[in-house]
Amino acid sequence: MTKARSPAWLITATAALVAFAPARQANATEAVAGRYIPGAFAGPGAGIVPPTPGAAYWAMSNIYYHGEASGEVPFGKGSVAAGLTGDTYAAILAGVYVPELHLPGNWTYAVQLAVPLGRTAASAEVGPFGTDQHVTGLGDIAFAPLVFGWHNDAMNTWLSASLTITAPTGEWKEGDLAFIGMNYWTFTPAIGFTYLVPQHGLDLSAKFGVDINTKNQDTDYYSGAMAHLDLSVTKAVTENLSVGAIAGFLDQIENDRSTFADAHGGFRGSSIAVGPLVKYKARFGEKTEVDLTLRWAHEVEVEHRMKGDAVFFDISGKF
């Protein structure tokens, strides 16, 4: 029962909203920029929507990613870069609210909002010259108007279904290597699953989603849809400390469309990342709990993508 009311699930919910986070990540979309890092949604409670009408939750997610891309990278109209290296840091403020709808059965409805601030630095060779750029500012804001959850009577099996809409509100300028926003909309339907084994302190969670993008009208580049699956296994070591492992899988299921992409067979990408997870529940008094979760995702198998490492540090609680 403690797991059901814990805000730990919010860590994964926040990650699902951080659509801008992999701004330097994908090497299979325009300017090696996508809205997903393998392992970004992996964590305990991926399928849990809190079943408490009128409740509100908060989270702050910190993400650092470093990666390098080999081969040519398209950006701007007809521009190509080589030897791209990128670093991205993002701080995301997120909130989740459960309206007092009192749905029948064991169903729950919620809404989510995430506002990111970030810094991106990138270097590459453009023609015969080397270029270094960096930018700091607002990222692409994400809103989930539809978040539905279900749990069984034993409260050990949880399912979720959601739709997240990411708007092009972030810093972006045509022809720049470093940017925070994508300059196109993304629609992400997703489903989540969590199975709890309280007697063994286990949380088995998964999240699957598809990023569906609109065209970047300024560059006439369409970044193809990407399917992603995140898995986690978490084991409670003590009442407050848990450890686990995560894995993330990405497969681009649709070709990019542009002059460059057409000449490179659709420019599709794929990636696999694995890593550890540590979670600590800090208690302040009898009613206040704050969850601290640290995750590391290391890419081990990459095709047509930037390859690197991502570190996630999430802080979440209940208002």
pLDDT exceeds 50 at position 27:
no
Instruction: State the Cα–Cα distance between residues 68 and 125, nearest whole angstrom.
Output: 13
Task: Tell me the pLDDT of the chain averaged across its residues.
Answer: 84
Instruction: State the Cα–Cα distance between residues 309 and 228, nearest whole angstrom.
Output: 17
As a CATH number, domain 2-318 is 2.40.160.40
Write out pLDDT tens, residues 134-143.
899 999 999 9
Domain layout of the chain by residue ranges:
2-318
The pTM score is 0.85
DSSP type of residue 35? S
User: Would you state the pLDDT for residue 29?
Assistant: 52
User: Would you state the pLDDT for residue 54?
Assistant: 92
Instruction: State the Cα–Cα distance between residues 109 and 177, nearest whole angstrom.
Output: 40
Buried residues in 2-14 as b, exposed as e (16+ CB within 10 A): ebbebbbbbbbbb
User: Would you state the pLDDT for residue 21?
Assistant: 36
Write out pLDDT tens, residues 33-59.
568 888 999 999 999 999 999 999 999
Q: Residue 21: which residues within 8 A CB-CB, separation 6 or more?
A: 15, 35, 37, 40, 63, 65, 88, 90, 92, 116, 118
Residue with tokens 């990636």: 271
Residue 170 structure tokens: 């972030």
CA dihedral 62, 43, 143, 222 (to 10 degrees): 90
Lowest mean pLDDT among 11-25, 48-62, 291-305: 11-25
Lowest mean pLDDT among 14-18, 183-187, 191-195, 304-308: 14-18
Q: 258 falls in which pLDDT band (50, 70, 90)?
A: confident
